[in-house]
Amino acid sequence: MKRFDQYLSCAIFSLILAALAYSQEPIADRVTVPFSDPARPGLFKAGLMNGGMTIKGYEGKEVIIEARVRAEKPRKNEKSGKKALGLRRLEITSTGLSVEEEDNVMSVGTESMNRTVDLTIQIPKNTSLKLSCLNDGDIKVEGVNGEIEVNNTNGAVTLTNISGSVVAHALNDDVIVTFAKITPDKSMSFSSLNGDIDVTFPPDFKAKVKMKTDNGDVYSDFDIKLEAATNRMEEDTRKEGGRYRLKVEKAMYGIINGGGPEMQFATFNGDIYIRRGK
C-alpha cells in the first residue's frame, strides 16, 4: 500500500510539472521598426496563414511587433515516443517573423506552417492597414486613423474607435466596426458569408446605403429613407425568336442624412446592424 501511494504521488507530481510546463507562455519574437519617413502616414501590411492579430494605434513613431507561437497541447508522436522516454520535450517557439520596409510601406509575415502564431502590434495612429488571416484567428484593430482593408477567412473582424475608411470582409464570422470619424466622400464595404455585419457610425453620417442579406434581417436606429432598387438586368431577344427576361437585384437601398457616398453591407447567413453612435 505504501509503494502504491509513492507511485501515486510521483504520478501526480509529474502531472503538475507537465501542467506548469504547458501553462508557460511561449517566448515572443519582438522587434521595433520605424517607417522611412515618420513625418508622413505609412502603410502597414500583415498576412497570416494560422493565427490572429491585434493592432493598436498609439502616439509613437515606430511600429512595435510581437510574434508569439500560441501555446498548444503537446501532440503525441508515436514514432519518437520510445526514443524520447526520460527526456523533457522543449516547446518550439520560433515564429519565422519577417519584416520589410521600403518607402513608408511595411510588410510583416511569419513562416510557421504547422504552428499558430499570433501578432500583437503597436502602430502610429495615422497609418493605413492591409490585413489578412486564413485560419484560427481574429483580426482586431483599435484607435487607428487611415484607410483600412481587412480580409479574414475563418475568424472575426473587430475594428474599434476607427477614423478613416474601411473595406472589411469575414467569410465565416462577424464583422464589427465602430467609427470615431469617417473620411468624407469615401465609399466603404462590409461583407460576410456566414456572419453578422454590425457597424456603428457617427450621428452625422451621410450616405447612400445598399443592404443585402439572403437569410437574415436588417436593423438600424438611423432614419433610413428607403428607395426602389435601381440595379436590374433586362434582356429581350424575342425578335430573334428568343425570350424576354428581367431580374431585379435582391438588395435594399436607402438614404441616410440626405445621402452621400455609397456604403455596401452584404451577408448571406447573417443579420445587418447599422447603428447611430453617440
When the pLDDT of each residue in the chain is averaged and rounded to a whole number, the result is: 87
Burial of 120 (0-12, 13-18, 19+ CB in 10 A): middle
Do 110 and 51 form a contact (C-beta atoms < 8 A)?
yes
* CA–CA distance, 141 with 132 (Å, rounded to integer): 12
pTM: 0.82
User: pLDDT tens, 164-175?
Assistant: 999 999 999 999
Cell numbers for 50:
494560422
Per-residue pLDDT band for 136 (boundaries 50, 70, 90) equals very high
3-state helix, strand, coil in the chain (%, to 5): 10, 50, 40
User: pLDDT tens, 225-262?
Assistant: 998 766 667 787 888 888 888 776 778 999 999 999 99
Do 150 and 176 form a contact (C-beta atoms < 8 A)?
no
Select the more confidently predicted residue: 16 or 36: 36
User: pLDDT tens, 187-228?
Assistant: 999 999 999 999 999 999 999 999 999 999 999 999 999 987
pLDDT at 259: 95
H-helix segments, the chain: 2-23, 78-81
